[in-house]
Amino acid sequence: MSEILALPDISRKEFLVLRDYLHQSFGLELRDGKERLVIARLSKFVKAGNFVSFEQYIRHVQTDPTGDRLTDLIDAMTTNHTSFMREPEHFRFFLGTVLPELGRRSSVSVWSAACSTGEEPYSLLFSVADAQQSSAISDVRITATDISTRVLRNAKEAIFTMEKVRALPPGWLQKFFQAPDKIAATAQVKAEWRSKIEFQRYNLMHALPFRKLFSAIFCRNVMIYFDKPTQSSVVKRLSAALEPGGYLMVGHSESLTGLDHSLQYVKPAIYRKAL
C-alpha cells in the first residue's frame, strides 16, 4: 500500500480550513478538487509529526511558535523552482532601458520580490556588474524578499549546484564564485558579492516594510498562486513601492489584464508607473 493511501484522507472540512488559512494569511489560492494534491504534498508532515488527522496537523502549524512548520507548509504548497537568468529579456531590458534612463543618479534601488533561493537577485547583480565598471556596482542596491525563511537562508548562503552554475555566461563562474567544491558538485558566490544583496522575510499580503522607493521591481511567477482580487491588492502594493517612472516585471506567464491597477503597459510582462 502506498504512503498516501496509508494515511487518513483529508475531509472536506479540513480542506476548507486549510484553503481559507492559506488564502487569508498568504493570498495563496487552493481551488476545489485539489484534495489529492494536498495529501501528496503534506502527508509526509502528518506522518513525521505522528498526527492522527490533517486537522491536528493544521492546528499545529497555526500554533507553532517557531514558524518552522509554517515554512514547511508554504514550501510544500508552492514551487521554489528557479534558475539563473530565467526569462532573460527582463535583465536585458533593465540593462538596456532602465539604467540608461536613470542617467548618473547616485543610487538605484531594485527589489526582487519572491526571490526564492536567490538566483534572480544574483542574476541581476552579476548582469549589472558585467555591464558596468566595478566602481558603479555599489550604486545598484538590491533588496530581495521571500515568505520562506528556509529559502532565504539558502539565498544568503548562496551555494548552488554546478548544474545550475554551468548555465551562466562564460567567465561568470570565475568572476563571481569561489572555486567549486568538486566533491559536493557545488559552488558558492564570493562573500564580496553576497554582501551586496539585502535579504529579508516579507509576506506580499502585508503592508510594505520599506520607506524607500524602487526604480524597478521583479515580482515574477508568484501571482499565479493568487486569485484576481489578491493579485490586484498585491499589484497596488507593488505600485506604491515604485518611484514615478519605475518598472514592474512579472513572469511571462502572468498578465495584469483584468486587474485594478494604474500601471502603464510597456511590453509583455513589463509595466511602468506614470511619471
For 32, which DSSP code? Answer: T
Side chain identity, residue 60: H
Active site residues: 41, 146
CA 213 to the chain's CA centroid: 19
200 pairs with which residues across the strands? 145
Q: In the sheet where 214-219 sits, what is the strand order?
A: 197-201, 140-146, 108-113, 214-219, 242-249, 270-272, 264-267
Residue 130's CB: how many other CB atoms inside 10 A? 14
Closest CA to 73 of 49, 99, 98, 106: 49
Radius of gyration of the chain (CA): 20
DSSP 3-state of 228? helix
The pairing of beta strand 242-249 with beta strand 270-272: antiparallel
